[in-house]
Homo-oligomer: A and B are copies of this chain.
Amino acid sequence: MAVSGRLRSKDLAQQIRAAILEGRLRRGSRLPSSRALAESLGVSRTLVSAVYEELVAEGYLEARRGSGTYVAADLPDLRPSAGQTSRPPAWTPRWQGEPPSRPSSRDVDFTLDRQVVEAVSARSWARMWRFLARQKPPVDLGPPEGDPELREAIADYLRRARGLRCGPEDVVVTSGAVRALELVARALVPLGEAVAVEEPGYPAARRVLQDRGARLVPVPVDEDGLRVDRLRAAGGVRLAYVTPSHQYPLGVRMSVSRRIALLEWAAWRDAVVVEDDYDSELRFDGPPLPALAGLDGSGRVVYVGTFSKVLAPGLRVGYAVAPRWLRERLVQLREASGDRAPWPVQRALAAFLASGDFDRHVRRVRRRYAERRAALREVLGSLDGLARLRGMEAGLHAFLELAPGLDEGELAKCARERGVWVSVLRPYYLGLPDRSGWLLAYGGLPADTVRHGASVLSEVLREAARGSRPVAAAARALR
């Protein structure tokens, strides 16, 4: 055993373990006495004895009374490793080997899945965490329903800005809106239950519902939001997931008559509606419609919100506002799972909301996003019927509907070759799409970048149209 420098007991133990595992010390062989080994290594006998004792306790060595210390005889062989395999086990699900390509830093990235937002101001960011630095460090998971002050601040905000009639006791804090939906699904959806989702709709919400064993029933969306008549016609549905403020991904707002019809449907079917209000703060043309949950007199709407869009996706805090009969179920499920938003983030966020920094932030970013939206509209607002910009009233993304005959996938590839990345609509459908186009997340990009990216998209569309007679005809129709 070659040893150099000052030997610590940890190192010695590790060297003996390695020698045993690699077969340099054979099973059942006798080790030198602690005195002899100590002398040969130039360390204290106490050190060696302690290491022997430790390795006996671990099962590597055996002490035989009066006879010395041996390598454990019943230790199985660990054949020398042939290096770590990079081969997955044959039985695991197949996997496309190549990671998807990603935009470079010089590219313009309008894609929805890597959405960027306008940062909180450095000043209020610092205030938030310096506040937390003065709090007592936590010793447990915290209450399953969430930090009391954060729930107070959220309820206050929802009463004020979203027309909800709710108190802190109605709010359950979660690690994001999708987790809130998962919690509700866990409480409400029996295996195989039919759940209505918007078509096209939010893939992450669908995934969570499917994971809970729901059978998804896609219900089409038009200019006024979810087609409630089609929902009525779909038999057996007793839970509907909707995004009335700014339909995801098309961006339409559900009209008041549809909202009322949806609530009537819920009363008629004894059903539950989950309202995902993910970006209602970011409305540009006047205040948002009050939430569906604010119209609901009968306790059949569960409201789900998030700070991901308005503050930062990286915070991972969302919430559910549940009718009274559902609340205790959610809290108990939450308690059992241990799955909640980190306590430090909840505390800091509570302070951020209570101080007024949140309202100031919303006002500031609303102006910023409005500038970017204007840049987008400036370039893509009049494409001579090749494409129509939709869903611009709110949020951080818009939908550019393409004229029939323009291939969303092919043209997205052309745009990508010129350094502009967009999301295509297709994956947001469960069934066959009834329209096509691009989703453009413009929120996180400076106005100049938006303008440049949009110009490239406009060129790509115009060039495609010039090359194609049918598209020109379709464009006249869409105009």
Contacts and interface: CB of A to CB of B under 8 A. Distances in A.
Given A84-B299, A85-B299, A90-B270, A10 B57 contact: no
Given A119-B137, A119-B139, A99 B260 contact: no
14 contacts: A58-B255, A72-B257, A83-B297, A89-B238, A97-B328, A127-B133, A129-B344, A130-B130, A138-B313, A175-B342, A178-B338, A178-B339, A314-B342, A314-B343
A304 interface: no
A257 B286 CA distance: 70
Q: How many monomers of this protein are in the complex?
A: 2
Interface in A243-269: 255-257, 260-261, 263-264
B139 A118 contact: yes
A436 interface: no
A19 interface: no
Interface of A: 10, 13-14, 17, 21, 53-54, 57-60, 72, 74-78, 80-93, 95, 97, 99-100, 113-122, 125-130, 132-134, 136-142, 163, 175-176, 178-179, 187-188, 190, 193, 204, 207, 211, 238, 255-257, 260-261, 263-264, 270-272, 285-287, 289-290, 295, 297-300, 312-317, 323-326, 328-329, 331-332, 335-345, 348, 444
A117 B54 CA distance: 27
A264 B137 contact: no
A82 B257 contact: no
Nearest to A299: B84
Contact of A287 (B54, B137, B323): B54
Nearest to A57: B286
A342 B317 contact: yes
A78 B125 contact: no
A394 to B, nearest CB: 12
B89 A271 contact: yes
B344 A314 contact: yes
A257 B316 contact: no
A287 B10 contact: yes
B88 A326 contact: yes
A75 B257 CA distance: 5
A57 to B, nearest CB: 7
A125 B141 contact: no
B256 A325 contact: no
A238 B17 CA distance: 28
Contacts of A238: 89, 91
B84 A297 contact: yes
A54 B290 CA distance: 12
B89 A270 contact: yes
Given A256-B58, A290-B17, A138 B188 contact: no
Contact of A84 (B85, B127, B317, B323): B323
Given A290-B17, A345-B342, A314 B140 contact: yes
A324 B86 contact: yes
Given A86-B325, A297-B82, A298-B84, A137 B120 contact: yes
Contacts of A119: 136-139
A341 B329 contact: no
Contacts of A204: 337-338
